[in-house]
Amino acid sequence: MPSFSAELVQRVPLSPRVVGMTFRAAEPFPRAAGQYAMLTLDEGSTHAFSLCAPFAPDEPARFEIAAARGTTAQSLLQLELGSVVSVTGPSGVLVWKTDAPSLLVATGTGISPLRAILLEQLERSSSVPISLLFGCRDAAEELWGAESLRSDPIPTRSPLCWSYRTRARLPAHARARAGARAPRLLVRPHADGQRLHQAAHRARRAARAHSRRKLLRNARASALWSEKSRSDSIN
């Protein structure tokens, strides 16, 4: 797996807890949207971060991550602009595999790889509908909320979960590339949010029921095997 150095060139607060960090690698860093990289600091600690922006041919060495305060990555947040880290990657299989209607779900910095995937899809000519559900403690924790992935937040039945509808508002440089071909994120009105919540609840109940049935089948099979073993030993 390739390793190279990268310089911290920008820090942007994304929320009270999360900082966006932009690095410029010493060489082009091609990758698939959704992948991650390992960052190693001078003091020896290594941290895995999902890359929150897709590969851009016009800036091939640039990549972004989102780091949360109060985590094991605290030492990374203490880096000054101009600091250099060692990067290994990319890795990971959370990538766009086929054009099909999709529902993406994330909380906190878990939205990072999904942001990269969405921005990549917005720059393609695909019209595949994509829905994003993002959960956070409150509006202040909404990452990249002023950027591209939302229009009007509509609460679902869960107070911590928001669904977004948009023909996404992209940054100017992305709008220029995407033009009018950007896919529209699905509208999720409140009723749909309720149905989604209920469907998820039914799916969880079905999964629990399936697990119970599987445990019963295994227990019966074990009991039959034990009975057969005892019978064979007697004979």
Of 67, 91, 115, the residue that ends a domain is 91
CA angle 72, 43, 1 (to 5 degrees): 80
Residue 138: pLDDT over 70: yes
Place 74 in a pLDDT band, splitting at 50, 70 and 90: confident
Query: Looking at residue 218, what is its pLDDT?
Result: 75
Mean pLDDT rounded to a whole number for the chain: 76
Tell whether 222 is covered by a domain.
no
- Same domain, yes or no: 177 and 122: yes
- Same domain assignment for residues 82 and 135: no
Tell me which of 91, 119, 135 is where a domain ends.
Answer: 91
pLDDT for position 54: 95
Residue 215 binned pLDDT confidence (cut-offs 50, 70, 90): confident
In a domain, 26, yes or no: yes
Tokens in use for 56? 């851009």
Do 54 and 129 belong together in one domain?
Answer: no
What would the two tokens of residue 37 be?
């990289």
Q: Is 188 exposed, middle or buried (0-12, 13-18, 19+ CB in 10 A)?
A: buried
Q: Which of 3-7, 166-170, 230-234 has the lowest mean pLDDT?
A: 166-170
pLDDT at 121: 85
Residues 79 and 159 in one domain: no
- Kindly state the DSSP code that residue 188 receives in the 8-state scheme: -
Report the range of poorest mean pLDDT among 115-124, 167-176, 182-191. Answer: 182-191
Task: Supply the DSSP string of 4-45, one letter for each residue.
Answer: EEEEEEEEEE-SSSEEEEEEEESS-----TT-EEEEE-TTS-
Same domain, 190 and 106: yes
Number of domains into which the chain is organized: 2
* 17 and 83 within one domain: yes
81: domain CATH number? 2.40.30.10
Strand ordering across the sheet containing 102-107: 102-107, 130-135, 161-165, 152-155
pLDDT value for 173: 44
Looking at the structure, tell me whether residues 112 and 169 fall in a common domain.
yes
Q: What is the largest CA-CA distance in the chain?
A: 82
162 in a domain, yes or no?
yes
Residue ranges making up the domain that contains 72 = 3-91
pLDDT band at 198 (very low <50, low <70, confident <90, very high): low
Judge whether 41 lies within some domain.
Answer: yes
Q: Rounded distance, CA 3 to CA 85, Å?
A: 10
**Where is the domain boundary, 41, 72, 91?**
91
Residue 176 lies in a domain: yes
- For residue 67, tell me if it sits in a domain: yes
Which pLDDT score, from 0 to 100, does residue 152 have?
41
> Are 84 and 107 members of one domain?
no
The confidence score (pLDDT) of residue 209 equals 73
The whole-number pLDDT of residue 24 equals 97
Residue 148 has pLDDT above 70, yes or no: no
Clarify whether residues 49 and 110 are in a common domain. Answer: no
pLDDT class of 89 with cuts at 50, 70, 90: very high
Q: Are residues 73 and 155 in the same domain?
A: no
- pLDDT of 66 reads 96
Please give the C-alpha separations between residue 81 and each of 37, 38, 91, 180, in angstroms, as whole numbers.
20, 19, 26, 36
Assigned domain for 223 exists: no
Q: Are residues 85 and 130 in the same domain?
A: no
pLDDT at 234 over 80: no
Residue 206, in any domain of the structure? no
**Statement to judge: residues 65 and 110 lie in one domain:** no
Confidence of residue 27 (pLDDT cuts 50, 70, 90): very high
